[in-house]
Structure 1
Amino acid sequence: MKRESRRMKRMARSHKRKKTSGMNLTSLMDVFTILVFFLLTNTSSNEALEPPKVITLPDSVVEAKPRETVTLMVTDREILVEAKPVIATEEVINSEETIIQAIKDAMILEMDKAITIAQIEQQEIAEEAEEAPEQLPPEVNILADRTIPFSLLKKVMSSCTDAGYTKVSLAVIQKASQG
């Protein structure tokens, strides 16, 4: 029988005394706390359009949330492009013209923003689909009060399309889908 050295015995004794402690979860809980805080703060800002209090949007069953685009607001007093007043609503209603030059000019000034947004969205779609990007048209979202007559909206939409915006969307309040 071989004799073990004193050093080996001492190492064996100290090795037996050490108990392995369980996993330390403190840092893992810190990471999850930060993740929960991040998710809570970012999910509240998902709405692309926040309608102002002066406009009551119509209700509709929609399938997709609105994307960030150039916004045109029609209130009972005035028409605003990107929150800048353009023309009085009464003036547009009384006009015989189908295309309102003031709206068209304001929309042309915002065309760079619309094209930039379309390009960013086009790149995101291309990356997800792993395909060559296709050219997306400039887009405008129209926020109009539910009491605005359609003849006024028709003039506003005609002015937008004449300015080069080929995709026009009307903002609505999303209701739960039926079915």
Structure 2
Amino acid sequence: MKLTPIQKRAARNARHGNSLDMNLVSLIDVFTILIFFLLSNSGVETLPAASVHLPESSAKKDPKQTLVVVINATEITVEGRKVADVPPLVNAKDDLIPGLKSELDLVSARPVALAEDAAQAHSVTIMGDKDIPYQLLRKVMYTAAIANFTNVSFAVNQKG
């Protein structure tokens, strides 16, 4: 009786008690590629894409991971959630924006997991369209200060 190579291997493994051997070389290759990818992308901070035309600046500072308030011609959003419409706010006498204030209060009430994140807990990045009036931007900054967000940054596009 003639055995095929697979049958010979199965008989030899049964005689010696060898179980199925696993080739770890390909797994090591996959993990190496995964680690390289994670390390190469760990320093990249991106702000959420929005329909906002940012002003240009020659600032060299990289953005930090903070709460993002986006202001365009029609609405104000916090982390993608709409909190206020812009047209009624432009001519409003009061500097406080109630919808923004309540959303910032909700965000500041969240517990902070790590001690080093506590410094960033009351930081906010404002992505304001370059065509919005300064009075609206001032109202947003005032509301953030009232909500105890004292570290305010502005998102800009780098020149060149």
Asked if Structure 1 and Structure 2 have the same fold, meaning a TM-score greater than 0.5 normalized by the shorter chain, the answer is yes
Counterpart mapping for 1:21-100 below 5 A: 35=32, 38-40=35-37, 43-44=40-41, 46-52=44-50, 54-100=51-97
SS of the equivalent of 1:49 reads coil
**Structure 1 residue 36 displacement after superposition:** 5.3
Counterpart mapping for 1:110-121 below 5 A: 110-113=107-110, 116=112, 119-121=115-117
| Structure 2 portions without partners, runs of 5+ | 1-24
SS of the equivalent of 1:98 reads coil
Cα distance change on mapping 1:117 and 1:150 into 2, 3 Å: farther
From 126, 129, 136, the equivalent of 1:145 is 129
Cα deviation per residue 1:101-145 (whole Å; 9 max; x = unaligned)? 2211111111145x72884346xxxxxxxxxxxx66610111111
Which residue in the other structure is 1:3 paired with? none
SS of the equivalent of 1:72 reads strand
* Inter-partner Cα distance in structure 2 for 1:83 and 1:41: 26
Q: Higher helix fraction: Structure 1 or Structure 2?
A: 1
**Structure 1 residue 60 displacement after superposition:** 1.1
Asked whether the equivalents of residues 141 and 169 of structure 1 are also in contact (C-alpha less than 8 Å), the reply is yes
Who wins on radius of gyration, i.e. which is larger?
Answer: 1
TM-score in terms of structure 2 length: 0.70
Aligned-pair identity (%): 26
Asked whether the equivalents of residues 66 and 121 of structure 2 are also in contact (C-alpha less than 8 Å), the reply is no
* Inter-partner Cα distance in structure 1 for 2:145 and 2:91: 21
**Structure 1 residue 92 displacement after superposition:** 1.1
Letter aligned with residue 73 of structure 2: D
- The alignment's C-alpha RMSD in Å is 2.8
SS of the equivalent of 1:105 reads helix
* Inter-partner Cα distance in structure 2 for 1:58 and 1:39: 34
Which residue in the other structure is 1:175 paired with? 159
* Inter-partner Cα distance in structure 1 for 2:62 and 2:46: 8
| Structure 1 portions without partners, runs of 5+ | 1-26, 123-134
Letter aligned with residue 120 of structure 1: E
TM-score in terms of structure 1 length: 0.63
Counterpart mapping for 1:4-15 below 5 A: none
Letter aligned with residue 116 of structure 1: V
SS of the equivalent of 1:110 reads helix
**Structure 1 residue 167 displacement after superposition:** 0.7
